[in-house]
Amino acid sequence: MAEISFPLPDLGEGLIEATVLEWLVAEGEQVERNHPLVEVETTKSAVELPSPQAGKVVKIYGGPGDTIKVGDPLIVFEVPDDTAGIVGTVPKEEAPRRRVRLTAALDDED
């Protein structure tokens, strides 16, 4: 298993921090991509952050009222090694399938 840390993104244009209002997931919880993670308030608005990926939540940073700086860790997920951060998908190992049969005769020297 691999751990992937997700930092607080810039939720507006040029914001430097956000304040946690309420965590919507708990450590140990398995979440799907886009599942609501946390409600935070910035100087512009209060927003709900969706999960950037599926995985098990192993750590969350900050409780209600705490301020987190943009770029600092927000949450850490645990994911299987072979899906960690990959672009594309892992090819499946399949038994070879064929439609072509070889028919050519060999010569005397074979």
Partner 1 sequence: MSEHTTLSDLEAAIDNTFATDAQQASVDVVEPGIVTAVETLSMQQALNRALAEVLEENPKALVLGEDVGLLGGVFRITDGLQKQFGEDRVFDTPLAESGILGMSVGLAMAGYHPIPEVQFDGFAYPAINQIVCQVGRMNYRSRGTMPMPITLRVPSFGGIRAPEHHGESLESLFAHVPGLKVVSPSSPNEAYHLLKHAATRPDPVIFMEPKSRYWQKGPVDTSADGYSPEGSRIVREGKHLTLVAWGAMVARCLQVAELAAEDGIDVEVLDLRWLKPIDAEGLAASVAKTRRAVVVHEAPLTSGLGAEVAALITERCFGTLRAPVERVTGFDVPYPSGDLEDEYVPNIDRILFGIQRVLENRRG
Contact footprint for partner 1 (CB under 8 A):
2, 81-82, 84-91, 93, 96-104, 106-107, 109-110
Task: Pick the closer one to partner 1 by CB: 26 or 106.
Answer: 106
Spell 12-49 as b/e; 16+ CB within 10 A means b. Answer: eeeeebbbbeebebeeeeebeeeeebbbbebeeeeeeb
The least CB distance from residue 61 to partner 1, in Å, is 16
Task: For the CB of residue 23, give the shortest distance to partner 1 in the complex, in Å.
Answer: 24
CA distance 93 to 19: 46
- We find the least distance from the C-beta atom of residue 93 to partner 1, in angstroms, to be 7
For residue 83, the SS3 value is: helix
Closest to partner 1 by CB, 13 vs 110, is: 110
